[in-house]
Structure 1
């Protein structure tokens, strides 16, 4: 294996304020109150706590309701992370240095793995967000009415709006840094965030993984009860196959690599993101209308009623912390030298996320009986 702290990684580490030399290959622990940004412990608590909450919820769904989808989705998210993240951190180790290169680097958080490249909160982020999105869509009844494909497309949309509130904020607060030298992957970008990441990591991955899990372990006509071993193997398969969907979706824009063709890539990626929004909004609007004709509330657990709203509220609070520096930034760079995200896109995502939370709560709320009108 090559040097884990190659020149590109060293430059990004220096940009974030630390050195990647002599990093522990297994795990490092740090004081949560002595990190690069005071926002980082709150982010860790939100995400790691959410992943634990999601795991408890998934286990209860499996034990109480006999539904293995939640627990399979939780662990498929971790399998997916184990497949996709190491090549991103160490592209040379996987023969991807010329094709992919180093895309980004995380800052140092309280618990860090793999030569300080993988924070614990990132391990937790995937299962926390996949459960958040799946439960919101399930609460809206989209899976029940429209089936796995439509439900998974809705999950891709939900993940887009929640993920991008986080994604557009991270670089400004030094949670991570994108590699400016990797224009092949990190361009085109919306403000500081590569559009490839916005599409593939924030939507395609979660949508594809959800579809695979629901199809492989969800209830189907003629399918008996799956054994624990069957669920485990299918869960692993879903996590392993998910990156293939990302590769397929990236092909149209990837066919136009090159600085002189950035506008073509931007157009294609923008169109694909627009499709995510259009399909997602249509499915959510349809679910909202269906509530009028089907007033019976959908069974909704505590996780679905609380965590999406909490996730949104905390991230918006962190955005409020960042706004003074955002407005004081010069040409998208703050006084601290960090790049800012797209405020208009975050506002759009926040509005959509708020609507999703309200719609899900409305779908799960009991309606009071109508009071008879005296004749």
Structure 2
């Protein structure tokens, strides 16, 4: 089943489709519609004229793989299909992503351009059009489109185009696999454009930030409610482990997922003193703070999803594949 490989490569393809226009809007004629949205800080290894840090290149495929494997280990794809699985994966991905996203500006990993436009005009014409409204220091459009929609679309296409055929015993190979990966990676940004239409309606001329805030808040709330409802319904299914390969969770999601959460817990704890002393959302060092309540909600969801996936896979291993966990159980 080359689905994992496809998601890894499609994530990188998505990265190199979506990032250059954000770093160099003038090259793509977007200087008057998007402007200069953000800039990464300086890191040891960088690409694209020092605009793209190596860790960002690694982050996209690694975290998308983690979210996909968690949901797959839960059995959602096997029992509920590609659409439900993609929605749940997007929710889990957002949980892991926002733990990182809400901390980055305070730690100076990057800065959002909300005060000064890069190409002519005023801040309200350019910088704030792209980066408002915001949840603390993070644009809500980023939470909705980059941390949810993009990888939800990517995972759906990967599973629909590759995973379904593989499950049927005819995994694509060679050119057939190649074009499916390309379609998956390229169509994810197109999905972002489609899902941005509701807020774009209120962004023409002078943006109606209040209306955009209402729309984005509604979208995010509905996304959480639907995603959690699907997960809750699935976890109540007594047959939820049916079709789950216990090896899918071991050891990648347990080791990498736990390490990811522990590292970010330490980073958040180290940032808390400056966060708590911040005035009007700005620390003494002049950096904007993220939303601690939202980060906590994401931590809770990420820990719960990771722990439940590991337990589900372990249960499936004991019941269906005892030889994989080193002991046998009575067979009915």
Name the TM-score, length of structure 2 as normaliser. 0.87
Q: CA–CA distance in 2 between the matches of 1:285 and 1:114?
A: 43
What is the CA-CA distance between 1:259 and the residue it aligns to? 5.6
Question: Deviation per CA, 1:286-345, whole angstroms, max 9, x where unpaired?
Answer: 23222x455677413311222122211111111011000000111100010000000111
Q: CA–CA distance in 1 between the matches of 2:197 and 2:98?
A: 22
Structure 2 matches for 1:112-123, cutoff 5 A? 112-123=46-57
Q: 1:283 to 1:342 in 2, by over 3 A?
A: same
State yes or no: 1:267 paired with 2:214.
yes
State yes or no: 1:70 paired with 2:39.
no
What is the CA-CA distance between 1:225 and the residue it aligns to? 3.5
SS in 1 for 2:108: coil
Aligned twin of 2:262: 313
- The match for 2:96 among 136, 139, 162 is 162
Aligned twin of 1:206: 151
Structure 2 matches for 1:50-199, cutoff 5 A? 67-180=1-114, 181=116, 182-199=127-144
Q: 1:295 to 1:135 in 2, by over 3 A?
A: closer
Question: Deviation per CA, 1:160-204, whole angstroms, max 9, x where unpaired?
Answer: 111111000000000000001300010000000000000000000
Q: Please, which runs of 5 or more residues in structure 1 have no aligned partner?
A: 1-66
Aligned pairs, number: 303
Structure 2 matches for 1:37-56, cutoff 5 A? none
Q: Please, which runs of 5 or more residues in structure 2 have no aligned partner?
A: 117-126, 320-328
Aligned twin of 2:252: 303
What is the CA-CA distance between 1:364 and the residue it aligns to? 1.2
Runs of 4+ with deviation above 6 angstroms: none
Q: CA–CA distance in 2 between the matches of 1:294 and 1:145?
A: 7
Name the TM-score, length of structure 1 as normaliser. 0.77
Question: Deviation per CA, 1:190-245, whole angstroms, max 9, x where unpaired?
Answer: 00000000000000011000111111112338773422221122101111111110
SS in 1 for 2:39: strand
Aligned twin of 2:161: 216
